[in-house]
Structures are given as structure tokens and as C-alpha cells.
């Protein structure tokens, strides 16, 4: 955590989140790249509000994180959410490497999983819900495209609840990377790694947990033992909303081929592929994405509550 002086200097925590943190109540962090770069307007704004509602409904306080005019914001106003949603991909996508630049120059930025974890840790938030994380991209042996999210999971003490790495990535390579870095990969109610749009895949998670309570207890033990780093908690999309692997794989292969033809690289890769998959599925992937994020928000709130009780 940052000390009080530095929090004052760089961070602005909303009244609701500050009260919850001061009183030791459960808080769930939410990222903002998913708003600006992960979904189109106006579904992105609606989904952000829904996420906040679902976290509250499940007994925790939501804290959407972003950088506004160079200030690290924890808990956004509706106007700030609307701004990030409307501006979309014009807002800078901020990962670890970009934070100092955006803050020093008083700019705006949407935070990725990596930077949302960093800012969560600065203020003492342990639980973070999102849709999907970045990982090792297909073809990484040639491009070296490995998301900074994985490195962050290796060192920052925040548990990330997602629906699994999506099939735009190389799943087995992502798992190998996480294993090397000492990141536990949990399946919620499953031994198989969920694959974002699909509830399952052919790959095994490291450990399975069926309840928020036992999972929260494991997190307490990990951090009490000084085993720094995050945990990747993979919560499968509910079956009624999933898109079968065979269907989504074909779409992803088309999107990847188009990406390679256009020569898209670096930070643009993930937003391009997400938007392309939405277009090719005529919006079906977006609906699945929204459902799985809300499902993760509900589970994250339960884990945050259980973690507070376990202390």
C-alpha cells in the first residue's frame, strides 16, 4: 500500500469506497479498459453500471479504477464512466509501463488488468473482477506478444476473477507462463480451464474451489505466508450463455487472419480482436461477454466478503 501522504498526492478515492476501506468492508475493484477498449458504446457504459449494481447487490462496494487528469481514481462518478465509454478507443490504454507518463502529464487513461491491479494494491483492495485477462498471444514465439497482465499477476497481491483467458490467446502457453511465474490458476466449480466465451476447454486448472469461503481462506494463507503475487480465479460463463468452442474458434481464426493481413500489432491487438469477434458474431459475443462479467462481479463480491471474515 502507498503511505497516506502519497495517496493524498496521487490518488482520489470516492467517498463510498473510502468509507468501505476505512471500515474494513469488502470492496471489489473493476477495470476501465474493458469500458473504453473492450466493448462498444453504449453497452460499455450500461455494463459498467450493471457491474456496480451486481457488486452492491452481493454485499460489497464496487470501485471502478481509471486515471483522470493524471489522478489515480478509485471509484468513478457516472460522468467519468460516460466519458470513458463515449471516448472509447481515443482514451489511452494504460498498462504498467504507461502509468507514470499519464500521471506526470495529467492525461486520461483506461486501466488494463495490470494497472488496475497496481492501483488496487496501492489503496489496499485485494479482489478485482473483470471479463478476461491478457495472456500469451498465438504466434508469440515470433511476435513476443505476451500481455503485461501475466507479469503483474506474478508480483502484485490482488486476486483477479475472470472467465478464463479467451481463445484469441494461446491457452496452453498462457498456462505455462503462469506456472513459471508461480501464479495459481483456480477453477471455480471445475477442474477444466474455462475459456471465456466457452465454459470449458481441454486444459486443466491447477486447483479447483467450489465455494467463495474456502477460496478466500486460501488467499489469506497465501498472503500471510508472504507468497507475493496474484491468483487467477477462473469462473466459467453460465452454460446458458456460452458460445461453443467450435463456433467461436472459427470466428477467431477469421479475426486473426484479418489482423495479420492488416499488420496490427502491440496494444491494438486485443481491442481489434475483441471488436472483430463482436462484428463476426453479429453481437452474440458481446452479449456473452456482458453475462460473464456480471457473473464474475457477483462471485468477486462473495470472495471479498469471505476474505474479510477470514481475517
Q: Is 132 in the site for ligand PSU (CB under 6 A)?
A: yes
Residue 145 or 152 having the CB closest to Mn ion: 145
Candidate list 88, 109, 131, 164; residue touching ligand PSU; CB under 6 A: 131
| Nearest Cα residue to 171 out of 243, 232, 227 | 232
Q: Tell me if 133 sits within 8 A of 171, measured CB to CB.
A: no
C-alpha cell at 54: 451486481
> Which residues make Cβ contacts (< 8 Å) with residue 280, sequence separation at least 6?
251, 254, 255
Which residues, numbered 178-217, are part of the site for Mn ion (CB under 5 A)?
none
Annotation says 151 is catalytic: no
Residue 212 or 273 having the CB closest to ligand PSU: 273
| Nearest Cα residue to 27 out of 115, 124, 113 | 124
* Alpha helices, DSSP H, located in 90-241: 99-104, 113-123, 140-143, 148-155, 171-180, 212-224
Residue 93 or 305 having the CB closest to ligand PSU: 93
Candidate list 267, 280, 287, 310; residue touching ligand PSU; CB under 6 A: 267
Stretch 80-99: interaction string toward ligand PSU, x if CB under 6 A: ---------------x----
Which residues, numbered 121-150, are part of the site for Mn ion (CB under 5 A)?
145
Stretch 205-244: interaction string toward ligand PSU, x if CB under 6 A: ----------------------------------------
Annotation says 31 is catalytic: yes
Q: Which does 31 bind (CB under 5 to 8 A by kind): Mn ion, ligand PSU, none?
A: ligand PSU
According to DSSP, the β-strands at 71-74 and 61-68 are antiparallel
Alpha carbon distance, N-terminus to C-terminus of the chain: 18
Strand partners for 66: 73, 110
Scan for cell 485485494, then name that residue: 126
Residue 21 or 131 having the CB closest to ligand PSU: 131
Closest residue to ligand PSU, based on beta-carbon distance: 38
3-class secondary-structure state, position 137: strand
**Largest Cα span, the chain:** 53
How far is Cα 111 from Cα 68, in angstroms, rounded to an integer? 11
> Which residues make Cβ contacts (< 8 Å) with residue 15, sequence separation at least 6?
75
Stretch 14-53: interaction string toward ligand PSU, x if CB under 6 A: -----------------x-xx--xx---------------
C-alpha cell at 8: 493524498
Residue 89 or 222 having the CB closest to ligand PSU: 89
Give the shortest CB-165-to-ligand PSU separation in angstroms: 8
Active-site choice (126, 166, 291, 302): 166
Residue 168 or 290 having the CB closest to Mn ion: 168
Give the shortest CB-146-to-Mn ion separation in angstroms: 7
C-alpha cell at 239: 452454460
How many of the other CB atoms lie within 10 Å of CB of 86? 15
Active-site choice (31, 121, 152, 242): 31
- Return residues touching ligand PSU (CB under 6 A): 31, 33-34, 37-38, 95, 112-113, 131-134, 147-149, 166, 267, 270, 274
- Active-site positions read 31, 166
Residue ranges that bind Mn ion, judged by CB under 5 A: 145
Amino acid at each position: 500500500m502507498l503511505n497516506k501522504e502519497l495517496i493524498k498526492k496521487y490518488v482520489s478515492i470516492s467517498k463510498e469506497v473510502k468509507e468501505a476501506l476505512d471500515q474494513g468492508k469488502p470492496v471489489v475493484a473493476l477495470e476501465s479498459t474493458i469500458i473504453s477498449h473492450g466493448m462498444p458504446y453504449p453497452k460499455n457504459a450500461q455494463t459498467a453500471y450493471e457491474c456496480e449494481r451486481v457488486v452492491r447487490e452481493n454485499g460489497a462496494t464496487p470501485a471502478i479504477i481509471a486515471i483522470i487528469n493524471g489522478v489515480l481514481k478509485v471509484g468513478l462518478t457516472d460522468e467519468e464512466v460516460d466519458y470513458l465509454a463515449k471516448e472509447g478507443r481515443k482514451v489511452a490504454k494504460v498498462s504498467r509501463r504507461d502509468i507514470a507518463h499519464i500521471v506526470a502529464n495529467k492525461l486520461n487513461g483506461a486501466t488494463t488488468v495490470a494497472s488496475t491491479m497496481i492501483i488496487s494494491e496501492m489503496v489496499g483492495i485485494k479482489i478485482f473482477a473483470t471479463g478476461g485477462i491478457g495472456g500469451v498471444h498465438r504466434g508469440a514465439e515470433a511476435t513476443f506478444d505476451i500481455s503485461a497482465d501475466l507479469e503483474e499477476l506474478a508480483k502484485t497481491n490482488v486476486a483477479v476473477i475472470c472467465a478464463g483467458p479467451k481463445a484469441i490467446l494461446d491457452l496452453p502457453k498462457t498456462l505455462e507462463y503462469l506456472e513459471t511465474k508461480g501464479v495459481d490458476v483456480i477453477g471455480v466449480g471445475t477442474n477444466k480451464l474455462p475459456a471465456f466465451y466457452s465454459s470449458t476447454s481441454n486444459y486443466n486448472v491447477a486447483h479447483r474451489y467450489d465455494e467463495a469461503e474456502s477460496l478466500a481462506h486460501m488467499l489469506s494463507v497465501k498472503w500471510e505466508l508472504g507468497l507475493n503475487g496474484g491468483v487467477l480465479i477462473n469462473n466459467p460463463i453460465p452454460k446458458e450463455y456460452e458460445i461453443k468452442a467450435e463456433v467461436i474458434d472459427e470466428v477467431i481464426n477469421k479475426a486473426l487472419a484479418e489482423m495479420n493481413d492488416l499488420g496490427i500489432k502491440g496494444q491494438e491487438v486485443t481491442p481489434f480482436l475483441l471488436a472483430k469477434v463482436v462484428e463476426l458474431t453479429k453481437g452474440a459475443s458481446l452479449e456473452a461477454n456482458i453475462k460473464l462479467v456480471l457473473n464474475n462481479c457477483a462471485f468477486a463480491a462473495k470472495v471479498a466478503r469471505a476474505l474479510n471474515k477470514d481475517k
